[in-house]
Amino acid sequence: MTTVAIDSPQARELLLQRPAERPLLLTGAVVVTQDPAVGVLSPGELLVRGTRIEGVGQVGTLPRSEDTLVLDAGGHLLSPGFVDTHRHAWEAQLRQLMPDVDDLGQYVTSTLVGIAPAYQPEDVHLGTRLAALTAIDSGITCMLDFAHNARSAAHSDAGVQALLDTGIRGVHASMRPHFGAWDGHWPKDLHRLREQFFRTDDQLLTLRLAALATDEIAGPEPAYGPQLAQVARELGIGVSVDAVFGASGSRAVLAWAEAGLLSPEVTLIHCNGLDQQAWRAMADTGTTVSTAPTSEAQIGLENAVPAVDEALAVGIRPGLSIDVEVALASDMSTQMRALLAIQRMRAVEGAYGTDRVPQRIGVQDVLDFATIEGARTNGLGEVTGSLRAGKQADLLVVDGRAVNTMPVNDPVGTLVLSVDARNVQGVLIAGTPRKWAGQLLGVDVRALEADVVASRDAVLRRAGRR
């Protein structure tokens, strides 16, 4: 049995050389399990074997063998990896291209009409790879890529391959482009994608169908309805529906409910400005919700207020998402803090000058949304999102001794309010280290930068923006 400090150079080398079947025990950490039956273990330990968590418990309670690699994780926190339930990953080269975007129409006109048609498959691959690596670096171990620039089968393949190349737990949600030339392969090409990349459900990548709520933005073909629902049923995959908001979104939700098209396998994205009838229909059918706190507030989607209160009022606990990096931050910490601040501001403002008690959410709520509820929203609630025996070993090693995290008085509060990417010292996905000692593994960042800049410049030239 080999025991070394988790932050030592020896630990990094042993971890990189470790055969998948060799047991790995992380001990002495504060373990934030996100399992309601267990809670926080301080100190605790976690045992990984292969791709899965074999056990979680108090220090000294898990089995060790002569072959076990033991990493002393004192001073660190272990937590589930964060789960992003909706990101348009292909856009990553365009980060902050329009940081002060005025509204959804400006984003659609600039990015989806003006730039998206200039993307070649290699640009989709690079943007998706950059988004996934950034996700891993900030502690996101599972990302749903709402891939709505699939202009050809080659574009789709490039997006899927990028997820594979990074080692992230990826959900490829496939949709045709909104505007511009494309080869008409969608949605029939989903059958080929399923057979080529997603033959089993016991793998890092899963497939979903992506759609829009109505025909207002891109016409009737990508709008969710009986035909697309039938495609998803035939393939046995979930559905993610974007741009669900306002009066037209409410009407669409009620129509789907009446037609039997809502279920726990369907995720509705945004959902701000919906009426009570729509929310009740979603709750009655077990439909999941993805909210994008910074997107809804900063871009001003519908009423610009993330619909967390409306969701909780009917018993829906949403997942969180990044959305578009052309104008928004790319990490989950920003989403948790933004949602926490917005909800509590609204709660206090609504009760101000009255004798009502504000109904505030707390740090445990937003951490739930970013982990276990996000996993459930992505259809992976039994796979990831909490640290429990039998689940995949998707977890974070977080430095609790840094100047911005010390001292750890409340582990959940620290994870939500203090931690950022620099504190995420280790990321394991399916038991494989993807970030260690604060660095992405197997990534030449300078070479990546050169490729990203070249791709951005080429795309903008083709789009007539340079």
Band of residue 2 on the pLDDT scale cut at 50, 70, 90: confident
Res 201 pLDDT > 80: no
**Is residue 127 domain-shared with residue 115, that is, in the same domain?**
yes
Residue 191 in domain: yes
**Domain's final residue, options 377, 395, 412:** 377
Torsion sign (Cα): 178, 183, 187, 193: negative
Percent of the chain with pLDDT over 90: 97
Res 207 pLDDT > 80: yes
The confidence score (pLDDT) of residue 183 equals: 95
**Is residue 277 domain-shared with residue 356, that is, in the same domain?**
yes
**Is residue 50 domain-shared with residue 94, that is, in the same domain?**
no
Residue 276 in domain: yes
CATH of the domain at 76: 2.30.40.10
Mean pLDDT of all residues in 324-340: 98
The confidence score (pLDDT) of residue 199 equals: 87
Residue 149 in domain: yes
**Is residue 249 domain-shared with residue 344, that is, in the same domain?**
yes
**Is residue 371 domain-shared with residue 417, that is, in the same domain?**
no
**Is residue 216 domain-shared with residue 334, that is, in the same domain?**
yes
**Is residue 47 domain-shared with residue 178, that is, in the same domain?**
no
- Reduced to 3 states, what is the DSSP secondary structure of residue 320? strand
**Is residue 133 domain-shared with residue 10, that is, in the same domain?**
no
Res 141 pLDDT > 90: yes
425, 78 contact by CB (below 8 A): no
Band of residue 20 on the pLDDT scale cut at 50, 70, 90: confident
Domain limits for position 400 = 2-80+383-440
- Which residue has tokens 């690079």? 126
**Is residue 266 domain-shared with residue 340, that is, in the same domain?**
yes
104, 299 contact by CB (below 8 A): yes
Interior CA angle at 158 toward 154 and 160, to 5°?
120
Residue 457 in domain: no
Percent of the chain with pLDDT over 70: 100
Question: What tens digit of pLDDT does each residue of 221-235 get?
Answer: 999 999 999 999 999
Residue 86 in domain: yes
**Domain's final residue, options 346, 377, 408:** 377
CATH of the domain at 91: 3.20.20.140
Question: What tens digit of pLDDT does each residue of 391-402 get?
Answer: 999 999 999 999
Q: Write phi, then psi, for 312 (nearest 5 degrees).
A: -65, -30
Summary mean pLDDT of the chain: 96
**Is residue 339 domain-shared with residue 367, that is, in the same domain?**
yes
Question: What tens digit of pLDDT does each residue of 154-196 get?
Answer: 999 999 999 999 999 999 999 999 999 999 999 999 999 999 9
Which residues lie closer than 8 Å to 340 by C-beta, 6 or more apart?
Answer: 361, 362, 363, 365, 366, 416
Band of residue 218 on the pLDDT scale cut at 50, 70, 90: confident
**Is residue 57 domain-shared with residue 182, that is, in the same domain?**
no
**Is residue 155 domain-shared with residue 38, that is, in the same domain?**
no
Residue 354 in domain: yes
The confidence score (pLDDT) of residue 216 equals: 87
